[in-house]
Structure 1
Amino acid sequence: METAPSRHPAELTFRDADEADVPALVGLIESAYRGDASRAGWTTEADILGGQRTDPEGVREVITAAGSRLVVVERGGELIACCQLEHRGDAAYFGMFAVRPQMQGGGLGRRIIAEAERIAHDAWGVGEMHMTVISVRDELIAWYERRGYRRTGRMTPFPYGDERFGVPQRDDLQFELLVKPLTA
């Protein structure tokens, strides 16, 4: 299913992912968060988590789940970013956000999150966007706050012992819920 054209149609296209995208999406997400390749960008989790960020099954699950979309962002037909949108009642959940590390820091993420908010609002009529961020990621949380998200102080535990989410390098990890009201 195609989403509405981007505000910069010559530069970026947004579409829903399909099964054929799974290998490239896993590679993109891993490169943005884990290992030495992720250090080229500023969103790396390499100092707090080792192991994998996702796997083909996890990506397929997001693509195929009811009320879920994995939005692929391309420039010139080349995959450069993605994000998950999930309909959760009066809110949408935003996750699995990844931008190629060498393309981070130039305003691309800001454009993608704005488009994701528009898609969620238009598709589901939701009034809020929710996300969870590892609470020790101060720089990342500050970036989201500059985009209108607010910290709620509501924490959920990190799934220690479940290596599908990574191998923690510290013992104080938890997720904080961030919320942003969406308007038309």
Structure 2
Amino acid sequence: MDTAPLRESGELTYRDAVEADVPALVPLIESAYRGDASRTGWTTEADILDGQRTDPDGVREVITAPGSTLLVVERDGVLIACCQLEHRGEAAYFGMFAVRPELQGGGLGRRIIAEAERSARERWGVSEMHMTVISVRDELIAWYERRGYRRTGKLSPFPYGDERFGIPQRDDLAFELLVKDLP
């Protein structure tokens, strides 16, 4: 990943990732969630999960699966963020959202999620956006609630024992489904 300092100005560009983007996308996603680099931003999971967040095969799968895309966000030609969009019937799934840690907290995430919602409506005509968030991530869930997402109380188990998703540092992890109606 390019670690050059970025100006706060400059237009954001959005495009669908291609397989050639995988070597740059994996470290971006890892930097937003895991390890000491992630602590620069506020989306870190470093206190609840160790190990990897994803790997090249996982990113490649999102890029190449039918009805799925990884939306790449660039500023002045530099990769700064990404998010997964997947068509699931009347809804789209939003995931693998990563913003370079040093750029978090300045409104960039708000702009990207709005573009992801617009893109999902335009691509697939969906009426809802779904996502899952680790249920103990109160600050992150509150951020999504301010963006119009609502907690459903529907939990799914964390994949304990599958290190492709990280090594849990606690035994109370689950995913909660959040939903937003798309106008």
Q: Please give the residue correspondences for 1:133-148 in structure 2 after superposition, counting only pairs within 5 Å.
A: 133-148=133-148
Matched, 1:50 2:76: no
- CA distance in structure 1 between the partners assigned to 2:123 and 2:173 by the alignment: 33
Shift of 1:11: 1.1
The residue aligned with 1:62 is 62
Deviations 1:117-148 (A, max 9, x none): 00000110000000000000000000000000
Query: Is 1:27–2:49 an aligned residue pair?
Result: no
User: 2:109 is paired with a residue of what secondary structure?
Assistant: helix
Alignment of 1:1-184 (within 5 A): 11-183=11-183
1:39 shift after superposition = 0.2
Distance 2:154 2:12 in 1: 34
Q: Aligned residues, how many?
A: 174
Q: Which runs of 4+ in 1 moved over 2 A?
A: none
Q: Which residue of 1 aligns with 2:6?
A: none
Distance 2:97 2:149 in 1: 15
Give the distance between the partners of 1:145 and 1:19, measured in 2 at CA. 33
Instruction: Structure 2 unaligned segments of length 5 or more: list them.
Output: 1-9
* TM-score, normalised relative to structure 2: 0.95
| CA distance, structure 2, for counterparts of residue 130 and residue 143 of structure 1 | 15
Q: Return the offset for 1:27.
A: 0.4
Identity %: 84
CA distance in 2, matches of 1:46, 1:146: 24
Partner Cα separation in structure 1 for residue 131 and residue 59 of structure 2: 17
Shift of residue 155, structure 1, vs aligned partner: 0.2
What SS does the corresponding residue of 2:39 show, helix, strand or coil? helix
